[in-house]
Amino acid sequence: GAGVSQSPSNKVTEKGKDVELRCDPISGHTALYWYRQSLGQGLEFLIYFQGNSAPDKSGLPSDRFSAERTGGSVSTLTIQRTQQEDSAVYLCASSTDRGIDNEQFFGPGTRLTVL
Amino acid sequence: AQKVTQAQTEISVVEKEDVTLDCVYETRDTTYYLFWYKQPPSGELVFLIRRNSFDEQNEISGRYSWNFQKSTSSFNFTITASQVVDSAVYFCALSGTHGSSNTGKLIFGQGTTLQVKP
């Protein structure tokens, strides 16, 4: 079956612009996670969605970052007024249910470069 | 606090050598899970194994084996008879209850880059 897909695969933007990154989870997966992978910080959790529950936003680095998940499926991560330190690979993952034991399936990521 | 440490930044071996990737974790949770993921040059993270905190049995899957020791808070990964295709970045990760939270978010180590030379 289809895995987690993300778009675009690459995004180059100018400092100060807004960007939107999209994630399509595996069909039927109720839990969705966003992570960021950067040279200086490694792999960091950003935000988590599970069904209709309030998202866990504890990993978002600033209020310029926001995310939504429409209809319990597709998710969009928005970064406003991008800064050079936002340059990273943004990874999306989904799993069948929340829980600390669930295997998360990762997408290929979106490489964001802020000039 | 939850933390995962992979002290080895890069390892280089020659094909057919055995190699062990170290992982040390910190958590106050009594129930937690440990994971290993592989990130090949293509970039996509691939799940390798999951181990819960109550199961200290070692596991072997083909050329891969894992050694979990709660006494030393370690979850080490060994590749036997390494192959060029094993070249990748390997991440160890921790998932715990974080108090009342049970989201399953992963705390990753910094990763170990393994290069297997022919």
Top-confidence residue, B92 or A39: B92
At residue B98 the predicted structure's pLDDT band, cuts being 50, 70 and 90, is: low
B50 neighbourhood in chain A, CB within 8 Å = 101, 103
pLDDT of res. A39: 83
* Mean pLDDT in residue range A12-22: 97
Nearest chain A Cα to B42, which residue? A108
Edge to edge, the sheet with strand A5-7 lists: A5-7, A19-24, A75-79, A65-69
Question: Does residue A98 sit at the B interface (CB-CB below 8 Å)?
Answer: yes
Inter-chain touch A101–B104, beta carbons under 8 Å: yes
For A26, B12, B22, B76, the CA distances from B8, given in Å and listed in that order, are 33, 11, 7, 12
Mean predicted confidence (pLDDT) in B101-115: 88
Instruction: Pull the structure tokens for residue B107.
Output: 């705390």
Q: Which of A11-15, B46-50, B95-99 has the highest mean pLDDT?
A: A11-15
CA neighbor of B91 nearest in space, from B47, B23, B36, B19: B36
Closest CB to B33 among A101, A105, A109: A101
More confident residue, B104 or B11: B11
Question: Does the beta-carbon distance from B110 to A42 stay under 8 Å?
Answer: yes
* Residues of chain A above pLDDT 70, percent: 97
Q: What is the mean pLDDT of residues A86-113?
A: 90
Q: Over the stretch B45-70, which tens digit does the pLDDT of each residue have?
A: 999 999 989 888 888 889 999 999 99
Could you report the per-residue pLDDT of B75-84, keeping only the tens digit for each?
Answer: 999 999 999 9
Contact call for A108 and B42, based on CB within 8 A: yes
Q: Residue B102: its pLDDT value, please?
A: 66
A 10 A CB-CB count for B82 gives: 22
- Tens-place pLDDT, residues B3-34: 999 999 999 999 999 999 999 999 998 889 99
Which of A56-60, A110-114, B98-102 is the least confident region?
B98-102
Chain B from 49 to 68: CB within 8 A of any A CB? 50, 52
Nearest chain B residue to A50 by CA distance is: B103
What is the reported pLDDT for A96?
A: 87
Q: Which band of pLDDT confidence, cut at 50, 70 and 90, is reported for residue A74?
A: very high
Q: Is the pLDDT of residue B100 over 70?
A: no
The pLDDT of residue B99 is above 60? no
Give the model's pLDDT for residue A98. 65
Closest residue in A to B53 (Cα) is A101
Q: Is A35 on the interface with B (CB under 8 A)?
A: yes
Stretch A42-47: mean pLDDT = 93
Q: What is the pLDDT of residues A22-40, one digit of tens each?
A: 999 999 898 999 999 998 7
Q: Does B38 touch chain A (CB under 8 A)?
A: no
Partners of B96 on chain A (C-beta within 8 Å) are 100
Q: B20, B78 in Cβ contact below 8 A?
A: yes
Tokens for B54, please give them.
């109550």
CB A14 within 8 A of CB A38: no
